[in-house]
Amino acid sequence: MTDNKRIQSFKPIVNDQTKVLILGTMPSIKSLEHQEYYGNKQNVFWKLLFAIFDQPYQESYTEKMILIRERGIGLWDVLQSCERKSSLDSDIIKEQANDIQGLINEYPTIKTIAFSSQKARQYFTKYIGVIEGVSLLTLPSPSGANARMTFKEKAEHWQELKTKL
């Protein structure tokens, strides 16, 4: 298809204190434009994190990075690159996975991988499978496309992240 563009994921945000790695599938068009993880305003990812940690929501990307780093949370995507004509995961083709096993080897403090959607978990299962000593947690998608759940319902599920830190 000629209308698909090959896109790349961002570099991982991790450090030696990262305990939980949240994996998405691939940055949205808006996220790529802003060069920020979960940069689409319709995605409630950041609002969920501020809410579960009882913090007032901050618009600043710097403040968002401080929040996750202070809590031992890292971010990355299952896919390193793919072709996609929209931000929908269902449009992803010709995908290539990130070296998540290599990242876990480099940062052995990571003991839990939390997926920010079912689709991220499916790609992980397809390309990586199991990582010894790392538990897996699948959370409801914070995407605006996931309208089946209210913010409150999503937040109830996302609370489980705190038990992994």
Q: pLDDT band for position 1 (50/70/90)?
A: very low
Q: Are 85 and 99 in contact (CB under 8 A)?
A: no
Q: Is the per-residue pLDDT at 89 higher than 90? A: no
Rg (the chain; Cα; Å): 15
Looking at 30-44, 68-82, 89-103, 138-152, which range is the least confident one? 138-152
**CB contact set of 105 (below 8 Å; sequence gap of 6+):** none
Q: pLDDT band for position 130 (50/70/90)?
A: very high
* Percentage, residues of the chain above pLDDT 70: 98
In the chain the domains, ranked by start, together with CATH numbers, are: 5-164 (3.40.470.10)
Q: What is the pTM of this model?
A: 0.95
Q: Is the per-residue pLDDT at 3 higher than 70? A: no
CA dist 55 and 75 (Å) reads 19
Q: What is the mean pLDDT of residues 113-128?
A: 97
* Annotated catalytic residue 4: no
Residue type, 90: S
Residue 2 is predicted with a pLDDT of 45
CA dist 49 and 56 (Å) reads 10
Q: Compare 4 and 84 and report the one with higher pLDDT.
A: 84
Q: Which of 15, 40, 43, 98 is catalytic?
A: 43
